[in-house]
Structure 1
Amino acid sequence: MKKEFLILASLLVMAVVSCKDDATKKINVENVAVSESRDAKISDFPVMDFAETNHNFGTINEGDIVEHKFTFTNTGKAPLVIISAKGSCGCTVSKWPKEPIAPGATGDMMVTFNSNGKPNLQNKQVTITANTEKGKEILKIKAMVTPRAKAVSGAPISK
Protein backbone atom coordinates (compact mmCIF):
# COMPACT_ATOMS: atom_id res chain seq x y z
CA MET A 1 0.00 0.00 0.00
CA LYS A 2 2.92 2.31 0.81
CA LYS A 3 4.43 1.64 -2.60
CA GLU A 4 1.23 2.53 -4.37
CA PHE A 5 0.96 5.74 -2.37
CA LEU A 6 4.57 6.68 -3.17
CA ILE A 7 4.05 5.97 -6.88
CA LEU A 8 0.89 8.11 -6.98
CA ALA A 9 2.59 10.92 -5.06
CA SER A 10 5.60 10.91 -7.41
CA LEU A 11 3.31 10.93 -10.46
CA LEU A 12 1.46 13.92 -9.01
CA VAL A 13 4.71 15.80 -8.37
CA MET A 14 5.92 15.11 -11.93
CA ALA A 15 2.61 16.34 -13.38
CA VAL A 16 2.77 19.59 -11.40
CA VAL A 17 6.45 20.22 -12.21
CA SER A 18 6.12 19.45 -15.93
CA CYS A 19 3.40 22.12 -16.44
CA LYS A 20 5.47 25.04 -15.19
CA ASP A 21 5.85 26.73 -18.64
CA ASP A 22 3.65 29.79 -19.14
CA ALA A 23 1.86 29.48 -22.50
CA THR A 24 1.57 33.28 -22.89
CA LYS A 25 5.37 33.51 -23.18
CA LYS A 26 5.22 31.37 -26.33
CA ILE A 27 3.08 33.87 -28.32
CA ASN A 28 4.92 35.66 -31.11
CA VAL A 29 3.76 39.32 -31.23
CA GLU A 30 4.44 39.56 -34.98
CA ASN A 31 2.09 36.66 -35.69
CA VAL A 32 -0.67 38.34 -33.69
CA ALA A 33 -0.36 41.53 -35.76
CA VAL A 34 -0.41 39.58 -39.05
CA SER A 35 -3.49 37.59 -38.04
CA GLU A 36 -5.36 40.72 -36.91
CA SER A 37 -4.67 42.36 -40.26
CA ARG A 38 -5.77 39.25 -42.16
CA ASP A 39 -8.95 38.85 -40.12
CA ALA A 40 -9.90 42.50 -40.67
CA LYS A 41 -9.76 41.98 -44.45
CA ILE A 42 -12.01 38.92 -44.31
CA SER A 43 -14.97 41.16 -43.50
CA ASP A 44 -14.35 43.24 -46.67
CA PHE A 45 -16.97 41.87 -49.07
CA PRO A 46 -18.00 43.18 -52.46
CA VAL A 47 -21.53 44.59 -52.62
CA MET A 48 -23.75 44.39 -55.74
CA ASP A 49 -25.77 47.61 -55.71
CA PHE A 50 -28.35 47.45 -58.53
CA ALA A 51 -30.02 50.54 -59.98
CA GLU A 52 -33.16 48.32 -60.11
CA THR A 53 -33.86 44.70 -59.24
CA ASN A 54 -37.32 44.42 -60.88
CA HIS A 55 -38.32 45.04 -64.49
CA ASN A 56 -41.77 44.88 -66.08
CA PHE A 57 -41.75 44.27 -69.85
CA GLY A 58 -45.43 45.21 -69.97
CA THR A 59 -47.67 43.48 -72.53
CA ILE A 60 -45.88 41.45 -75.18
CA ASN A 61 -47.01 38.87 -77.75
CA GLU A 62 -46.39 35.18 -77.27
CA GLY A 63 -43.23 34.28 -79.15
CA ASP A 64 -41.54 37.67 -78.56
CA ILE A 65 -38.00 37.61 -77.21
CA VAL A 66 -37.32 40.63 -75.00
CA GLU A 67 -34.27 41.66 -73.03
CA HIS A 68 -33.36 44.12 -70.31
CA LYS A 69 -30.00 45.36 -69.02
CA PHE A 70 -29.66 45.54 -65.22
CA THR A 71 -26.80 47.85 -64.22
CA PHE A 72 -24.97 47.40 -60.92
CA THR A 73 -22.07 48.98 -59.04
CA ASN A 74 -19.63 47.23 -56.72
CA THR A 75 -19.94 49.45 -53.64
CA GLY A 76 -17.93 47.04 -51.48
CA LYS A 77 -14.23 46.99 -50.59
CA ALA A 78 -13.19 43.88 -52.55
CA PRO A 79 -13.38 42.81 -56.23
CA LEU A 80 -16.75 41.31 -57.19
CA VAL A 81 -16.73 37.93 -58.94
CA ILE A 82 -19.99 36.64 -60.44
CA ILE A 83 -19.95 32.85 -60.48
CA SER A 84 -23.29 32.20 -62.18
CA ALA A 85 -26.68 33.67 -63.03
CA LYS A 86 -29.52 31.18 -63.48
CA GLY A 87 -33.09 31.83 -64.54
CA SER A 88 -36.05 30.23 -62.81
CA CYS A 89 -36.83 28.44 -66.09
CA GLY A 90 -35.17 27.77 -69.43
CA CYS A 91 -36.97 30.75 -70.99
CA THR A 92 -34.79 33.22 -69.06
CA VAL A 93 -31.14 33.59 -69.99
CA SER A 94 -28.52 35.88 -68.48
CA LYS A 95 -25.20 37.30 -69.66
CA TRP A 96 -22.82 38.74 -67.09
CA PRO A 97 -19.21 39.99 -66.91
CA LYS A 98 -16.78 37.11 -66.45
CA GLU A 99 -13.91 39.28 -65.15
CA PRO A 100 -13.82 40.66 -61.57
CA ILE A 101 -15.53 44.03 -61.01
CA ALA A 102 -13.27 46.36 -59.00
CA PRO A 103 -14.65 48.33 -56.04
CA GLY A 104 -16.44 51.42 -57.39
CA ALA A 105 -16.75 49.97 -60.92
CA THR A 106 -20.02 49.19 -62.69
CA GLY A 107 -21.19 46.21 -64.69
CA ASP A 108 -24.22 45.04 -66.65
CA MET A 109 -26.35 41.91 -66.37
CA MET A 110 -28.33 41.24 -69.56
CA VAL A 111 -31.52 39.22 -68.98
CA THR A 112 -33.38 37.76 -71.99
CA PHE A 113 -36.92 36.34 -71.79
CA ASN A 114 -38.36 34.10 -74.52
CA SER A 115 -42.17 34.17 -74.29
CA ASN A 116 -42.71 31.27 -76.73
CA GLY A 117 -45.15 28.85 -75.07
CA LYS A 118 -45.56 31.15 -72.05
CA PRO A 119 -48.98 32.84 -72.36
CA ASN A 120 -50.59 35.13 -69.74
CA LEU A 121 -48.86 36.69 -66.71
CA GLN A 122 -45.24 35.60 -66.29
CA ASN A 123 -43.07 36.29 -63.23
CA LYS A 124 -39.50 35.02 -63.51
CA GLN A 125 -36.36 35.53 -61.50
CA VAL A 126 -32.63 35.31 -62.04
CA THR A 127 -30.51 34.10 -59.12
CA ILE A 128 -26.97 35.47 -59.17
CA THR A 129 -24.28 33.59 -57.28
CA ALA A 130 -21.35 35.86 -56.39
CA ASN A 131 -18.73 36.42 -53.70
CA THR A 132 -20.95 38.89 -51.82
CA GLU A 133 -21.68 38.49 -48.11
CA LYS A 134 -25.11 36.93 -48.83
CA GLY A 135 -23.72 34.86 -51.70
CA LYS A 136 -26.89 35.24 -53.77
CA GLU A 137 -28.66 38.21 -55.35
CA ILE A 138 -32.05 38.08 -57.11
CA LEU A 139 -33.40 39.98 -60.11
CA LYS A 140 -37.08 39.76 -61.09
CA ILE A 141 -38.81 40.24 -64.43
CA LYS A 142 -42.48 40.34 -65.28
CA ALA A 143 -44.52 40.33 -68.52
CA MET A 144 -48.11 39.97 -69.60
CA VAL A 145 -47.91 37.66 -72.61
CA THR A 146 -50.81 37.89 -75.08
CA PRO A 147 -51.54 34.32 -76.26
CA ARG A 148 -51.34 33.45 -79.95
CA ALA A 149 -54.64 33.13 -81.79
CA LYS A 150 -55.53 29.46 -82.05
CA ALA A 151 -56.83 27.93 -85.25
CA VAL A 152 -60.54 27.09 -85.06
CA SER A 153 -61.08 23.36 -85.65
CA GLY A 154 -63.80 22.28 -88.03
CA ALA A 155 -63.81 25.56 -89.93
CA PRO A 156 -64.07 25.23 -93.70
CA ILE A 157 -60.86 25.74 -95.66
CA SER A 158 -61.26 28.37 -98.36
CA LYS A 159 -60.01 27.53 -101.84
Structure 2
Amino acid sequence: MKKVVAISIFLIVGLASVQAQKTAKMEFKSETIDYGDIKKGSDGLRVFEVKNVGDAPLIIEDVKSSCGCTVPTKPEEPILPGETGKIEVKYDTNRVGPIRKTVTVYSNSSEPVKALKIKGTVIDRESGS
Protein backbone atom coordinates (compact mmCIF):
# COMPACT_ATOMS: atom_id res chain seq x y z
CA MET A 1 0.00 0.00 0.00
CA LYS A 2 2.83 2.40 0.81
CA LYS A 3 4.31 1.76 -2.65
CA VAL A 4 0.99 2.62 -4.32
CA VAL A 5 0.72 5.87 -2.34
CA ALA A 6 4.37 6.74 -3.10
CA ILE A 7 3.92 6.06 -6.82
CA SER A 8 0.68 8.10 -6.87
CA ILE A 9 2.39 11.05 -5.19
CA PHE A 10 5.32 10.77 -7.60
CA LEU A 11 2.98 10.81 -10.62
CA ILE A 12 0.96 13.77 -9.30
CA VAL A 13 4.10 15.79 -8.58
CA GLY A 14 5.56 14.83 -11.97
CA LEU A 15 2.43 15.91 -13.85
CA ALA A 16 2.28 19.15 -11.90
CA SER A 17 5.90 19.85 -12.83
CA VAL A 18 5.18 19.29 -16.52
CA GLN A 19 2.19 21.64 -16.37
CA ALA A 20 4.20 24.28 -14.48
CA GLN A 21 6.88 24.29 -17.16
CA LYS A 22 4.54 25.70 -19.81
CA THR A 23 5.36 29.36 -20.28
CA ALA A 24 4.59 32.16 -22.64
CA LYS A 25 7.56 33.83 -24.34
CA MET A 26 7.55 37.18 -26.18
CA GLU A 27 9.54 37.67 -29.36
CA PHE A 28 9.39 41.08 -31.01
CA LYS A 29 9.83 41.63 -34.75
CA SER A 30 11.78 44.75 -33.69
CA GLU A 31 12.47 46.18 -30.24
CA THR A 32 13.00 49.71 -31.63
CA ILE A 33 10.76 51.79 -33.86
CA ASP A 34 12.63 54.50 -35.75
CA TYR A 35 10.32 57.30 -36.89
CA GLY A 36 13.24 58.86 -38.76
CA ASP A 37 12.53 62.49 -39.65
CA ILE A 38 8.79 63.00 -39.31
CA LYS A 39 6.95 66.25 -40.00
CA LYS A 40 5.19 68.09 -37.19
CA GLY A 41 1.54 67.06 -37.00
CA SER A 42 2.07 63.80 -38.95
CA ASP A 43 0.48 60.51 -37.97
CA GLY A 44 2.50 59.27 -34.97
CA LEU A 45 0.90 55.81 -34.78
CA ARG A 46 3.31 52.87 -35.05
CA VAL A 47 3.05 49.17 -34.14
CA PHE A 48 5.32 46.72 -32.31
CA GLU A 49 4.56 43.16 -33.44
CA VAL A 50 4.95 40.54 -30.72
CA LYS A 51 4.87 36.79 -31.30
CA ASN A 52 4.26 34.23 -28.59
CA VAL A 53 6.99 31.64 -29.15
CA GLY A 54 6.16 29.88 -25.86
CA ASP A 55 3.74 27.06 -25.19
CA ALA A 56 1.23 28.89 -22.97
CA PRO A 57 -1.04 31.87 -23.74
CA LEU A 58 0.76 35.22 -23.52
CA ILE A 59 -1.06 37.86 -21.50
CA ILE A 60 0.11 41.45 -21.89
CA GLU A 61 -0.88 42.79 -18.49
CA ASP A 62 0.13 46.43 -18.97
CA VAL A 63 2.09 48.74 -21.26
CA LYS A 64 3.48 52.04 -19.97
CA SER A 65 5.40 54.84 -21.64
CA SER A 66 8.16 57.02 -20.23
CA CYS A 67 6.11 60.20 -20.81
CA GLY A 68 2.62 61.46 -21.57
CA CYS A 69 3.59 62.28 -25.17
CA THR A 70 3.54 58.56 -26.01
CA VAL A 71 0.34 56.55 -25.64
CA PRO A 72 0.66 52.75 -25.92
CA THR A 73 -2.26 50.35 -26.41
CA LYS A 74 -1.98 46.68 -25.46
CA PRO A 75 -3.80 43.68 -26.92
CA GLU A 76 -6.86 42.86 -24.80
CA GLU A 77 -6.99 39.14 -25.60
CA PRO A 78 -4.30 36.57 -24.75
CA ILE A 79 -1.89 35.79 -27.60
CA LEU A 80 -1.95 32.05 -28.13
CA PRO A 81 1.25 30.05 -28.75
CA GLY A 82 2.50 30.67 -32.29
CA GLU A 83 0.23 33.69 -32.76
CA THR A 84 1.14 37.37 -33.19
CA GLY A 85 -0.29 40.41 -31.45
CA LYS A 86 0.18 44.16 -31.76
CA ILE A 87 1.18 46.85 -29.31
CA GLU A 88 0.24 50.22 -30.79
CA VAL A 89 2.21 53.32 -29.87
CA LYS A 90 1.02 56.84 -30.70
CA TYR A 91 3.57 59.65 -30.35
CA ASP A 92 2.47 63.30 -30.18
CA THR A 93 4.12 64.69 -33.30
CA ASN A 94 3.21 68.27 -32.40
CA ARG A 95 6.36 68.35 -30.25
CA VAL A 96 9.27 69.42 -32.48
CA GLY A 97 12.63 67.87 -31.68
CA PRO A 98 14.19 64.49 -30.96
CA ILE A 99 12.15 61.43 -29.97
CA ARG A 100 13.80 59.14 -27.43
CA LYS A 101 11.16 57.27 -25.43
CA THR A 102 10.74 53.91 -23.74
CA VAL A 103 7.64 51.73 -23.76
CA THR A 104 7.66 49.08 -21.03
CA VAL A 105 5.66 45.87 -21.48
CA TYR A 106 4.50 43.84 -18.46
CA SER A 107 3.35 40.28 -19.13
CA ASN A 108 3.29 36.67 -17.98
CA SER A 109 6.20 35.90 -20.33
CA SER A 110 9.37 34.11 -19.23
CA GLU A 111 10.83 37.65 -19.42
CA PRO A 112 7.97 39.48 -17.65
CA VAL A 113 9.22 43.05 -18.17
CA LYS A 114 10.48 44.22 -21.56
CA ALA A 115 11.64 47.72 -22.54
CA LEU A 116 10.98 48.80 -26.12
CA LYS A 117 12.30 52.02 -27.69
CA ILE A 118 11.01 54.63 -30.08
CA LYS A 119 13.29 57.21 -31.66
CA GLY A 120 13.38 59.80 -34.40
CA THR A 121 13.07 63.53 -34.90
CA VAL A 122 9.96 65.66 -35.37
CA ILE A 123 10.75 68.47 -37.80
CA ASP A 124 8.82 71.69 -38.30
CA ARG A 125 7.01 71.66 -41.68
CA GLU A 126 7.75 75.28 -42.48
CA SER A 127 11.47 75.38 -41.74
CA GLY A 128 12.28 71.78 -42.63
CA SER A 129 14.27 71.37 -39.41
TM-score (normalizing by structure 2): 0.84
Partner amino acid, structure 2, of 1:98 = E
Matched, 1:141 2:113: no
Partner amino acid, structure 1, of 2:10 = V
Provide the secondary structure at the position in 1 that maps to 2:115. strand
Matched, 1:67 2:45: yes
Paired residues, number? 125
**Given the alignment, which residue of 11, 14, 17 partners 1:39?**
17
Structure 1 vs Structure 2: percent identity of aligned residues?
32
Higher relative contact order (CA 8 A, sep 6+): 2
Root mean square deviation, CA, Å: 2.3
Deviations along 1:68-93, one digit per CA (max 9) or x if unpaired, are 11112111010000100001111111
TM-score (normalizing by structure 1): 0.69
Cα shift at 1:30: 0.9
More strand by share: 2
Partner amino acid, structure 2, of 1:130 = S
CA distance in 1, matches of 2:47, 2:93: 17
Where does the alignment leave 5 or more consecutive residues of structure 1 unmatched?
1-23, 150-159
Cα shift at 1:143: 1.7
Q: Tell which structure's C-alpha radius of gyration is larger.
A: 1
